[in-house]
Chains A and B, each alone.
Chain A
Amino acid sequence: MIGKKKRYGSLEKTEGRDAWIMMAPAIIVLLVVAVYPVLRTFWLSLHEMVLTDPGSGYPFIGLKNYLEIFNDKRALTSIVFTLKFTIATVSLELLIGFTAALIMNKAFKGKGLVRAAILIPWAIPTSVSALMWKFIYNDQYGLFNDILCKLGVIDGYKAWLSTADGSFMALVITDVWKTAPYMALLILAGLQMVSEDLYEAAKIDGANVFQRFFYVTLPCVKSTVLVALLFRTLDAFRVFDLISVMTGGANGTESVSIYAYSNLMKFLDFGYGSAIAVLIFAVVFIISLLYMRVLGDQITDM
């Protein structure tokens, strides 16, 4: 390279090219690990591929799998359930998380300890906490029944995980327990960035607590809250391990991910299962795009 007269001149271009060379290995790894599986799943979904029937030759059938999804009552029920679950958990987590963040924002003794301790539910692996809560909801010796009985809310031990409503409530409670702290911490980070001067100015102008909250706090943390909401919505929509451990999808608690998993691993129907997986990917993608729209340019200001 030395000695050759550079045709393209500018320093920027040379640096740009070097940058690409440096990034190439990382990009290649990403393509292989992240992009290729998605493309391959999409490719599989265009075929009829049931592993217990290797004689069929796995023919290409175009978009027939996707049409089947819309005719499949079980798939549609699982989508409805997943949406119900997402809305319930995300709104509760937003409420509880925001409240907790506002409280933690004030200086008080042991603030550091509280902030560390509040992350513990989030730190426990989902499968472990799901199993733990399953024991708590147990109808013979569960803590949930015990406490409610002692408080006089219910008269006898109930089998919470035996009914559709009971299971839904149990799943929502466990999920909120686990992720509200995560929301709280994200929002807390946003709250800390709001300058005290704004609050003082508002107080001088005679704003009360509510007005300060709605006109100073909320607009400033809007982008943080939206990012936190984005993560939580995506996670809630893809819920799998919580349901798998607690109810196995019984009592109407089958989410889209669980249904996709059943199709892939239990029925060995890789064509249909892949189609459902691609559907999940598409929905998650659209949700992200919508959130990005609302966030707009604000995300680069953070």
Chain B
Amino acid sequence: MRKRVKQVIAGAVAALMAASMIGCGGESDSSKKSPDDQITLKFSFDQGVGEATQKIVDQYNASQDKIKVETVLLPQDANQVHDDFVNKLASGDTSVDIMGLDVVYIAEFASAGWLMDLSDELDASITDTMLEGTVEGATYEGKLVAAPWFTNSSVLFYRQDVLDQLGAEVPTTYEGWMELADQAVGINGVEYGADFQAAQSEALVCNWVEYVWNNGGDVLDEDGTVVINSANNLEATNIMKKLVDQYAPEGVTTYTETESEQVFKEGKCLFIRDWSGFWSSGQDEGSKVTGVIGATTLPVGPSGEESHSCLGGLDLVVNNAISDGQKEAAVEFIKYMVSADTQKEMTLISAQPPVVKEVYTDSEILEEIPFYEDFYGVILGGKSRPKSPQYAKVSDAIQRNIHQALTGEVEVQAALDTLQEEVEELSK
């Protein structure tokens, strides 16, 4: 009898443990419908724009009953956000419906088949209101696979007070800035002429391509041929290296946006190249340079004529694996987010540049953010980084080789030659 009881208990426990494993799996489907047929959408993006977006989302949820949007925040690191999305989308996960994706990853995600084709839903009536560069960046193989949400480009911020004291004009060339930097050291706490981001990261790619473009060169020419080790680019990279060696803080090759902004806010730098959002964050509490920041376009090199800045920003993408009902709701939400009114609201509370053109010339906006008047010109001159499904590898090649050139580990010419070879390999 005891033996029998023991066997039964053993069998029951085994069965229970086996049954509990079923609880480990199970899909997390977000298409929950509450009794009154409300659809829930999960919207995931990085927390750099967290607060502002949350306000907009709350407004949307309050304004109608059909769709409820829930936000899922991620850390403010493009790589981490990318990896998180890859994890989900590669396994066909449907727990996230809409994502805020960095513009450089659009081609990669689209070629893997993870993004819903929005060409039919978002027709010309919507895309014509947007900046051309952003719509182009959201297109892959002729299909619109993303909805531009907000854009960004870099700006040269400088110490207006130092320039006033020296009675100097705002320089437009790198040489001009270097000359000014020699005079400016010691004035009002300035120790370094230049400040920017040269850590081995995506930020370095953005910085470097700007030197390249502003010196009349490029990474790929119109036919897509790799033109990295041209004479123009060699000159441009040498200028960047000179700034790193002589004018920037010693640790600039370990700086991403955070560290570089910190040094400028301490009042130690003459200028900083940073994203446009620094206009407001650079003057917040604790900053020693509030009220003395000026903004201008990036300087050009000796062989360059036009100033370009690197385009960034986030696009809204829809997970291709979710159900049709979810997709419809997602498109509804996207249309709301890209409408002129919402874009204006978003810009007012977040200082993130909108993609809808008319917002830039809106009087309320110009009152709040007067620097958008000049900035509109800057953003029209914005260029996208090379678009390719292999962008991750191209970016990685640029990051490694240029970083080695800037730290002096490899000669600049040798680094550009190696980079030329590596990118050519990838383009095959």
* A1 vs B3: C-alpha distance when bound (angstroms): 9
* A98 vs B262: C-alpha distance when bound (angstroms): 42
Report the minimal beta-carbon distance from B414 to chain A, rounded to whole angstroms: 15
Report the minimal beta-carbon distance from A24 to chain B, rounded to whole angstroms: 6
* A164 vs B250: C-alpha distance when bound (angstroms): 14
Instruction: Using CB atoms, name the residue of chain B closest to A158.
Output: B250
Q: Using Cβ atoms and an 8 Å threshold, which residues of chain B touch A163?
A: 407
Q: Are A52 and B263 neighbours in the complex by a CB distance under 8 Å? A: no
Q: How many residues of B contact A (CB 8 A)?
A: 43
Report the minimal beta-carbon distance from B312 to chain A, rounded to whole angstroms: 18
- Tell me, yes or no, whether A140 is within 8 Å of chain B by CB: yes
Q: Are B83 and A265 neighbours in the complex by a CB distance under 8 Å? A: yes
Instruction: Using CB atoms, name the residue of chain B closest to A138.
Output: B251
- Tell me, yes or no, whether B127 is within 8 Å of chain A by CB: no
* A163 vs B22: C-alpha distance when bound (angstroms): 51
Report the minimal beta-carbon distance from B293 to chain A, rounded to whole angstroms: 20
Instruction: Using CB atoms, name the residue of chain A closest to B391.
Output: A52
Q: Identify which of residues 72-113 in chain B touch chain A, using a CB-to-CB cut-off of 8 Å.
A: 79, 82-83, 86-87, 90, 108, 111-113
* A29 vs B21: C-alpha distance when bound (angstroms): 8
- Tell me, yes or no, whether A251 is within 8 Å of chain B by CB: yes
Q: Are A268 and B21 neighbours in the complex by a CB distance under 8 Å? A: no
* A29 vs B112: C-alpha distance when bound (angstroms): 33
- Tell me, yes or no, whether B392 is within 8 Å of chain A by CB: yes
Q: Using Cβ atoms and an 8 Å threshold, which residues of chain A touch B392?
A: 266-268
Cβ-neighbour of A51 out of B13, B86, B251, B403 (below 8 A): B86
Q: Identify which of residues 7-24 in chain B touch chain A, using a CB-to-CB cut-off of 8 Å.
A: 7, 10-11, 13-14, 17-18, 21
* A21 vs B111: C-alpha distance when bound (angstroms): 49
Q: Are A248 and B200 neighbours in the complex by a CB distance under 8 Å? A: yes
Given A25-B18, A268-B392, residue A162 in contact with residue B86 (CB < 8 A): no
- Tell me, yes or no, whether A28 is within 8 Å of chain B by CB: yes
Report the minimal beta-carbon distance from B268 to chain A, rounded to whole angstroms: 8
Q: Using Cβ atoms and an 8 Å threshold, which residues of chain A touch B86?
A: 51, 265, 268
Per DSSP, are chain A's interface residues mostly helix, strand or loop, or mixed?
loop
* A21 vs B9: C-alpha distance when bound (angstroms): 11
Q: Using Cβ atoms and an 8 Å threshold, which residues of chain A touch B249?
A: 139-140, 159
Q: Are A159 and B4 neighbours in the complex by a CB distance under 8 Å? A: no
Cβ-neighbour of B200 out of A2, A32, A139, A249 (below 8 A): A249
- Tell me, yes or no, whether B199 is within 8 Å of chain A by CB: yes
Query: What 1/0 mask marks residues of chain A from 208 to 246 whose CB sits below 8 Å from any chain B CB?
Result: 000000000000000000000000000000000000000
Given A52-B389, A157-B250, residue A268 in contact with residue B4 (CB < 8 A): no
* A248 vs B21: C-alpha distance when bound (angstroms): 37
- Tell me, yes or no, whether A250 is within 8 Å of chain B by CB: yes
- Tell me, yes or no, whether A262 is within 8 Å of chain B by CB: yes
Q: Identify which of residues 243-257 in chain B touch chain A, using a CB-to-CB cut-off of 8 Å.
A: 249-251, 253-254
Q: Lowest 6 A-B CB distances belong to which pairs?
A: A139-B251, A250-B200, A25-B17, A159-B251, A159-B250, A265-B83
Residue contacts A-B, CB under 8 angstroms, 18 given: A1-B3, A2-B3, A18-B10, A21-B14, A22-B13, A28-B18, A51-B86, A139-B249, A139-B254, A159-B251, A159-B253, A162-B251, A250-B403, A251-B409, A265-B86, A266-B393, A267-B392, A268-B108
